Amino acid sequence: MSKTAFVTIAGRTNAGKSSLLNAIIGEKIASVSNKPQTTRTRITGIRNIDDVQLVFFDTPGLHKPVNKLSEHMLNTVKESVSDIDAVVFMMDCTKKINEQELNLLKSLNASKMPVILVLNKIDLLKSMNDLAPVIASMTEQIHFQAVIPVSVTEDNGVDIVIDEIMKLAAESPHYFPEDMITDQPEKVIAAEIIREKLLMMLSDEVPHGIAVGVETMTERDDKDILDISAVIYCEKESHKGIVIGKKGAMLKKASTAARIELEDFFRIKVNLQCWVKVKEDWRNREGLIRNFGLSEK
């Protein structure tokens, strides 16, 4: 008898949602960074355990919308919390809940959607006793299927999250082949790996204005080499200078780090070429957002 559970991972930006998805899938399919709003689209991750297929949707983090891109990101979250079996709601346990989070949780409760509360980053707590008031205040206001304290980076508690989700799987055919771990096209994964390295290396002002598009990705006939060419778009001429760096140092550092991870992911030698272009104010331009695959409309 086969079973399936569709699960959306939602919560504030930087809570550790993509980190959790990667930990559950066992491969890095979603970009992770300490900068807010790292995830921009819905990312699907698939894990098969015995006869159960778990399908996860990682979503952009809740934040205050400031431009058209963030409006699209927040719409993605809204659309991702219907027609599923459960929501994993993730919080950084060192941060207080805000109104946006509370509103989402209340509407999930109203729709009778099972919600598993995952309190992440317990490694940052001085004492586990600090968790008790957090849990008490949350469960006073919202009904949860389960409350699970975890530290994703220390691999503490992730197995308990999986066990809870397994309980919610319903009898159903499997929708994805057994060997599939994500529905992200390879070009998108490659672009996200490059964008993640830039997020890691650049200072705060620039990263949000960056989009990466992989233009070509071809394996050579005569050698085991994958040629990838990518364009890094930034919003300002001055940002382009920062992305390239002194004598190209920044671009070189980021593309080397990306190449190493690309080789690891695709298990083949990679030749990566990155170009930097300016597209002013792309985050407010519908057409460009569609172009980058950040909106389906």
Ligand X SMILES: Nc1nc2c(ncn2[C@@H]2O[C@H](COP(=O)(O)OP(=O)(O)OP(=O)(O)O)[C@@H](O)[C@H]2O)c(=O)[nH]1
Residues that bind Mg ion (CB under 5 A): 17-18, 38-39
Number of residues in contact with ligand X, rule: CB under 6 A?
23
Residue 274 interacts with ligand X (CB under 6 A): yes or no: no
Element (H, E) at 108: helix 99-110
Partner from ligand X, Mg ion, none contacting 44, C-beta within 5 to 8 A by type: none
Of the candidates 4, 39, 44, 70, which one interacts with ligand X according to CB under 6 A?
A: 39
Helix/strand/coil for 259 = helix
CA angle, residues 57, 60, 63, in degrees to nearest 5: 145
Residue 182 interacts with ligand X (CB under 6 A): yes or no: no
Handedness of CA 196, 198, 204, 210 (dihedral sign): negative
Partner from Mg ion, ligand X, none contacting 7, C-beta within 5 to 8 A by type: none
222 CB neighbour count, 10 Å cutoff: 5
* Least distance (Å) between residue 62 CB and ligand X: 8
Handedness of CA 120, 125, 130, 134 (dihedral sign): negative
Query: Based on CB atoms, which residue is closest to ligand X, 91 or 138?
Result: 91
Nearest to 159, CA basis, from 168, 169, 148, 170: 148
Of the candidates 18, 41, 76, 255, which one interacts with ligand X according to CB under 6 A?
A: 18
* Least distance (Å) between residue 25 CB and ligand X: 13
Q: Which of residues 86-125 bind ligand X (CB under 6 A)?
A: 120-121, 123-124
Q: How far apart are CA 244 and CA 239, in angstroms?
A: 9
* Least distance (Å) between residue 207 CB and ligand X: 11
- For residue 271, what are the contacts with CB-CB under 8 A and spacing of at least 6? 225, 226, 227, 228, 259
Residue 38 interacts with ligand X (CB under 6 A): yes or no: yes
Binding site for ligand X (CB under 6 A): 13-19, 32-34, 36-39, 60-61, 120-121, 123-124, 151-153
